[in-house]
Amino acid sequence: MHTQPHNRAEWITALCTVLMACTAVTALLYAHWQLKQDREEAQVGRLLGELHKYDEEPMVGYRRQYAEERLKGVSEPAARYQLLDFFETIGLLVDRGYLDETDVWENFGYSVFPLYADSRDTIGEEQKDDPAYYIHFISLAERMQAVEKAQHGNVRAMTKEDFQEFWQDETKLVTGSPPSIRRPRHNK
């Protein structure tokens, strides 16, 4: 009879230990879920901030100037580097996981593809002297192409008509107007 109370105490201790372990695992799972939610919320906030910058001055002015100069046949538009710098930052944020690449493709792919295609030679020349030149922009463009391929199955080179249409659209930009989120036309 002396063993029964002792066994009961061990059984209660074991049950309490299991309950504490389950509570700890539940708390860890909840903390993990909450951190994931917070991270996703922060990514959306960053994305909205970058979209706002891209659709306001001075970026709208740079975009319009770049398009106008390209339509006039200027091979090295002055505003190219402001656009490349903007997307270099976006690429860095994607590379570090601060922005989701699919969200960036959804919101900026329409602009990244023509800028990358139009600037590839310029970047390549600069990389001869500095291999790190616009590496995050290049990474971004490659990621956008991979997402585009996954979403639509095919990525083709932009045609002269694709460029013309894109630049025509960019010349009509007005600060404060709703952002134009269009699918790149260079996929079939």
**What are the pLDDT digits (tens) for 160-178?**
999 999 999 999 998 876 6
d(CA 58, CA 3): 82
The domain total for the chain is: 1
Report whether pLDDT(81) > 50. Answer: yes
Report whether pLDDT(187) > 50. Answer: no
**pTM listed for this prediction:** 0.81
What is the structure's pLDDT at 36? 82
| Percent of the residues in the chain that have a pLDDT greater than 90, as a whole number | 74
Amino acid at 123: I
* Burial track 156-167 (b if 16+ CB lie within 10 A, e otherwise): eebeeebbeebb
What is the structure's pLDDT at 95? 98
Q: How far is CA 61 from the centre of its chain?
A: 22
Name the packing angle between helices 160-171 and 101-129 (round to 10°).
Answer: 110
Q: Is residue 24 situated within a structural domain?
A: no
Q: Is residue 38 situated within a structural domain?
A: no
Are the beta carbons of 82 and 58 closer than 8 angstroms? yes
Those residues with Cβ within 8 angstroms of residue 119's Cβ, 6 or more apart along the chain or in another chain: 80, 84
Report whether pLDDT(1) > 70. Answer: no
Q: Is residue 114 situated within a structural domain?
A: yes
Report whether pLDDT(86) > 90. Answer: yes
Q: Is residue 110 situated within a structural domain?
A: yes
Tokens of 34: 């909450």
- The larger pLDDT score, comparing residue 72 to residue 42, is at 72
Tokens of 70: 């390209």
Q: Is residue 16 situated within a structural domain?
A: no
Parent domain of 117? 43-171
Q: Is residue 11 situated within a structural domain?
A: no
* Burial track 73-112 (b if 16+ CB lie within 10 A, e otherwise): eeeebebbbbbbebbbbbbbbbeeeebbbebbbbbbbbbb
Q: Is residue 62 situated within a structural domain?
A: yes
**What are the pLDDT digits (tens) for 27-57?**
888 888 888 888 889 899 999 999 999 999 9
Are the beta carbons of 113 and 184 closer than 8 angstroms? yes
Q: Is residue 33 situated within a structural domain?
A: no
What is the structure's pLDDT at 185? 45
Q: Which residue has the tokens 């990621």?
A: 143
Mean pLDDT, all residues of the chain: 90
